[in-house]
Structures are given as structure tokens and as C-alpha cells.
Amino acid sequence: MPSLLLAGIAAAPLSPYWLQPGLTIALGVMRRRHPDLFDRLSSLDDPTYLIDPVDLPLVFVLSLNPDHPQLSARRHGDGANTAATIRGPLMALIDLLQGRVDGDALFFSRALLIEGDVGAVVALRNAVESVEVDLLDDLLSVLGPLARPAGQAIRLGNSLLARAARDLAALHTAVLGPALRPPNKMED
């Protein structure tokens, strides 16, 4: 989703402090809409994950304490005691959460890097795969009757941004393509 990428770029200069209310709401929505996910994770020994979208200047710390799960944003290097780190591009992490991609395929293609307690990461992956998450619908649910029009507006914006990205790529190829091709060798 191009709008998520733009949201990430827009969030870059923000202090993680300003993102916290949104993250708290998002986690609350996930708990309310997907209680099975948190029930499955409650048997773990209170793992904390560092989620590092490599294309953002922030990392996210997810604590799965059964009584009080927390999601917080931090700057890189703001040390966190975590059981495991999950590192990859933002869109790959979102696609993974929503079950649109296979985590094993991402891992073996090296688009996703796992460090630390692999068992805790596998448990998280299995719990996430057991539910159907639609992040946009989940987050829009807080808007009540405005959720549907807001979703339509976001989807329209995404399609316009995707079209603009395709057009820019075509323009890039048309303008720079000839300059980037190796020169033709004359045959004797």
C-alpha cells in the first residue's frame, strides 16, 4: 500500500512519543477484534519482540504480557530487552501480519531476518496465521459509521498513488533507460 509507505515517511521526523497514542489504540483494536490471537500467545513466557521495519527510522517493541500487552515505537538504538528481533521492509511485515505472504519464504529469501529466540518468533507466526487480520479494516473500525467512507477514500488514494508510482517508473525507464544500456559493439 503506497499510503502506508508515505505514512512511514511522514512519521520519520516525529518523536516516537507522538506515535504512542495511535499504537495504543491499534493494539487495543487488535485485542478486541482478534482475542484468539492473544489467547494463543498467553501461554508464552511474556515475550518481547523488537520489530524493525528497515525502511523506517523507528523500531517497534511488542510486549505480549497476557495482562497488559504493549506496543511502543522507539528510535534505533534506544535499547530494549527483547526475546527476538524481526527485521524486514515495512510492507513485508504488514503483508506477513495479514497473511498475504509466507513467513518462511520471506525468511529464506532473506527479506526477513530473525534474531534471538526463534521459538518465540515461530509461536508468534503460528498465532498470527491462525487469525485473519485486515489491518486497514481493523484500524478503521474505530471510526464507527465513518469507517466505510474513510476506507473508500484510502483505497482510492492507494490506487492513485500506485498509478503515480507506475507512471514514474515508466518515465524513469524512458528517460534513463537509453543512458543505462551498455553501448552497442560494432561487429566487423
Reported as a single tens digit per residue, the pLDDT across 18-65 is: 888 888 988 888 888 888 888 888 777 778 899 999 888 889 999 888
Mean per-residue pLDDT for 84-112? Answer: 84
Full residue range of the structural domain in which residue 22 is found: 2-141
Are 153 and 131 members of one domain? no
Is residue 70 within 8 Å of residue 62, measured between CB atoms?
Answer: yes
pLDDT band of 7, cuts 50, 70, 90 = low
Please, which pLDDT band fits residue 103 given cuts at 50, 70 and 90? Answer: confident
Residue 62: how many other CB atoms lie within 10 Å: 19
Residues 155 and 90 grouped into a single domain = no
What average pLDDT is seen over the chain?
81
CB neighbours of residue 150 within 10 Å: 15
Average pLDDT over residues 4-22: 69
Position 10 scores a pLDDT of 59
In the chain, the N- to C-terminal Cα span, in Å, equals 51
CB count in 10 Å sphere of residue 104? 10
What integer pLDDT is reported at residue 87 of this predicted model?
A: 92
Average pLDDT over residues 90-116: 84
Instruction: Inform me whether the pLDDT recorded for 2 exceeds 70.
Output: no
The mean per-residue pLDDT over the stretch 76-87 comes to 79
Residue 75 lies in a domain: yes
Looking at the fold, whether 77 and 93 belong to one and the same domain comes out as yes
| Same-domain check for residues 78 and 122 | yes
Residues 20 and 96 grouped into a single domain: yes
pLDDT of residue 6: 56
75 and 96 both lie in a single domain: yes
Determine contact, residues 51/93, Cβ cutoff 8 Å.
yes
Q: Is residue 188 part of a domain?
A: no
Assess whether 82 and 161 both reside in one domain. no
* 72 and 163 fall within a common domain: no
pLDDT attached to residue 61:
92
Number of domains in the chain: 2
More reliable by pLDDT, 13 or 134: 134
Question: What was the pLDDT predicted at 181?
Answer: 74
The percent of residues above 90 in pLDDT, for the chain, comes to 5
